[in-house]
Amino acid sequence: MRLLRSGAISHGFLVSRSPLAPHAFIVAPLWGRTMSLEPIGRGRTVSRTPAQSNHPPKKIAPVLITHSKTDIVTFMNSQSVKYLILGGGPSGLSLAAALLRAGIEDFLVLEKESSAGGLCKSEEVDGSPFDTGGGHFLDVRNPKVTDFLFSYMPRSEWDEYHRDSRIDVKGTIINSPIEANIWQFDIDTQIEYLKSITKAGCNMGDPMPERFTDWIYWKLGKRIADDYMIPYNKKMFAEDLDSLGTYWLNKLPDVSFEETLRSCLERRAYGKQPGHAVFLYPKKYGIGELWRRVADSLGDRLLLNTGVEKLDFKTRTVNDTFSGEILINTAPWTDFQSISGLDEAEMDAIHSLRHSSIVTEYHPEMLDTKSHWVYYPDPVLSYHRILVRHNFCPGSRGYWTETNLTRYEKNPDAPAFLNEYAYPMNTIGKQEKMAFLLSSLEKYGVYGLGRWGEWQHFNSDVVVERAMALAEKLASS
C-alpha cells in the first residue's frame, strides 16, 4: 500500500487535507497535468497521466471525503481499465503486446514477481545464460507466432537447431522417441522389445483401458512401459500415476510391429519427430531476453511486485485496488490467496486442480554428447531430464538438471532455482472441470489463457498463438 502526503497528486487528482476536519480530505481533479507522486515507506509507485487514457476526462468538481486515511489511500491507489491481465509470463505478455499492436492501450498486467517472463526467465550462471524454468525453445512450425516474436527479437539474433533428444535406458542412450529408435539397442534387446510390441493391447484388439498405467501397457507394450514410460512419468509427475487421466495421451502414436521390425532391419528411425523438431535459440542470450523485451514494450502498463492477494470474480476486482471490464487470468488459479464471487461448484473446480514443482540445478561439467537434452527414467537418479547447455548456447559450458521438487536433494555447491508452478497435472476429470469453470467465468467477463489460465501443458509458442487469437477476439468485440 502506498501512502500519499496531503498535496500529492495521484491519477489526475490533487489530495489536500480539509481545514475543517482533521480526518477529511479534499479530492480535486487536475486534468492535463503530469502527476507528481510522493510515496512514503516501501512499495512501488506507478504514475499515469490523464493524457494516457483512451477516453477524454469528465469535469469533476472537488469532493470532500470524510473517511479514514486508509479509505483515502485505497481510493487514490485504485485503477480501473478495460482489460485487466493477471500474470506476466508468456501468455500475459503476449496478450498485452497483441492488444497494444491492435491500438488498445487501456489495460494493465499485474505480475507478482520482480521481473516478468514466468517460466521463461533467464539468469547468468557461470558466465552464460541459464533458463531457470527448464528447457524452453522457440518452435518454428507457426510463422504467425515467429513473425510476431521476431518484432521483439529479430530472426538474425537466433540460431537454428535440429532437435537431438535422447533417452538413457538402463545405461544405453538412444534417440527419442523410444518407439522409433529401438533399432539402436543390441540385437537381443531389439528382439525382446519386438516380442513385447506384438502383445500390446492396441495391437491385439483389446479394448482401451481407463486407468493410466493400464493404458500405457495397452498402447506401448510391457517393455517400453517398464523401461521408460512408467518410471519416467513417476519421476516427473507423481508416484500415483492412476490419479492421472488418459485423455492427454492420445497424441502418442500406435507402436506398429511391422514398422518397428522394418526400422530394426533397416537400422533407421521411422515416423515423425516430436515437437520442436526444428527450434530456435538466441545466439547471445537465454530465452528470457525475448520476454524481457516484450515486457519492456508495455511500459508502465506492466506492474511488477503486484501479486493477487484478493480477487472478486463478479466485480473483476483485485486487491480492492485494480478492476477491469474484462479480466484475463494467465496465473495459476490455485495461487490466489482469497477468492470471492464464485459458487460452490466453481470453487470445487479450482480446488481440484493439481500441479508439479521442479528445481533446475546447474553443473559446470562438459558432457561428451551432441544431444540438446536427455531423459532419465532410472528411479535411482533424482532428476528426470538434463539440458546440455553447451550444445545450444554458444560459448557456454555445463548442463542443468530438472528435478521434481518431491525428489530433490539440495546441493549447496550448485546454483539452483525453484519453480513452484512448473507443470499442470492432467488429473482425472480435469478436462471437464476446466471446461465448466472457463465457460462459467466467461459469463462474468473473465477469461482463462495459457498454461495456467487453461491448466494445459502448452509450450510457449502455443500460448503465444492463443494469446494472439484472444486479442483479436477482444479487439473485434
pLDDT at 268: 93
Q: What is the pLDDT of residue 275?
A: 66
The answer to whether residue 391 scores a pLDDT higher than 70 is yes
Cβ atoms of 264 and 194 within 8 Å: the answer is yes
C-alpha cell at 423: 507443470
* Residue 335 pLDDT greater than 90, yes or no: yes
- Please tell me the class of the 82-118+288-353+426-476 domain: alpha beta
Quote the pLDDT of residue 210: 86
Q: Which residues pair with 173 in a beta bridge?
A: 168
The pLDDT value given to residue 51: 35
The predicted structure's pLDDT at residue 18: 47
Judged by DSSP in three states, 184 sits in helix
Residue 44: name the closest of 69, 79, 93 by CA.
79
First to last CA, the chain: 35
pLDDT score of 477 = 84
- Which pLDDT score is estimated for 271? 72
Higher pLDDT, 378 or 25: 378
Is 195 a residue whose pLDDT tops 70? yes
Span 28-70, pLDDT tens digits: 443 333 333 333 333 333 333 333 334 443 343 444 444 444 4
pLDDT of residue 252: 72
The C-alpha cell of 371 is what? 544431444
Higher local confidence (pLDDT), 305 or 21: 305
Q: What is the pLDDT of residue 310?
A: 95
Peptide bond into 177 cis (omega under 30): yes
Note the pLDDT of residue 274: 67
DSSP 3-state assignment of 127? coil
Q: What is the pLDDT of residues 124-175, one digit of tens each?
A: 999 999 999 998 899 988 999 999 999 999 999 999 999 999 999 999 999 9
In angstroms, the CA 449 to CA 472 distance is 14
Strands 399-404 and 355-363: antiparallel
Q: SS3 for 77-109, per residue?
A: HCEEEEEEEECCCHHHHHHHHHHHHCCCCCEEE
How sure is the predictor about 238, in pLDDT bands with cuts at 50, 70 and 90? confident
pLDDT at 24 (0 to 100):
46
- For the chain, the domains span 3-77, 82-118+288-353+426-476, 177-266
Percent over 90 (pLDDT), the chain = 75
Q: Which amino acid is at 398?
A: G
Task: Decide: 317 and 346 in contact? Cβ < 8 Å.
Answer: no
At 464, the pLDDT band (50, 70, 90 cuts) reads: very high
pLDDT at 42: 33
Strand partners, 400: 362, 387
- Average pLDDT value over all residues in the chain: 86
248-270 mean pLDDT: 86
Banded model confidence at residue 109, pLDDT cuts 50, 70, 90: very high
SS3 content of the chain, % helix, strand, coil (to 5): 35, 25, 45
pLDDT exceeds cutoff 60 at 23:
no
- Exposed / middle / buried, residue 100 (Cβ in 10 Å: 0-12, 13-18, 19+): middle
Task: Please give the pLDDT value at position 41.
Answer: 34
pTM above 0.85, yes or no: no
Residues in the chain: 477
Q: In the structure grid, which three cell numbers stand for residue 62, read together? A: 472537488
The dihedral region occupied by 320, where left means phi > 0, alpha psi between -120 and 50, and beta the remainder, is left
Q: What is the pLDDT of residues 274-307, one digit of tens each?
A: 667 899 999 999 999 999 999 999 999 999 999 9
Contact 175, 181 (CB under 8 A): yes
Coil vs helix vs strand at 11: coil
Name the residue type at position 161. Answer: Y
Alpha carbons 401 and 389: distance in angstroms, whole number? 10
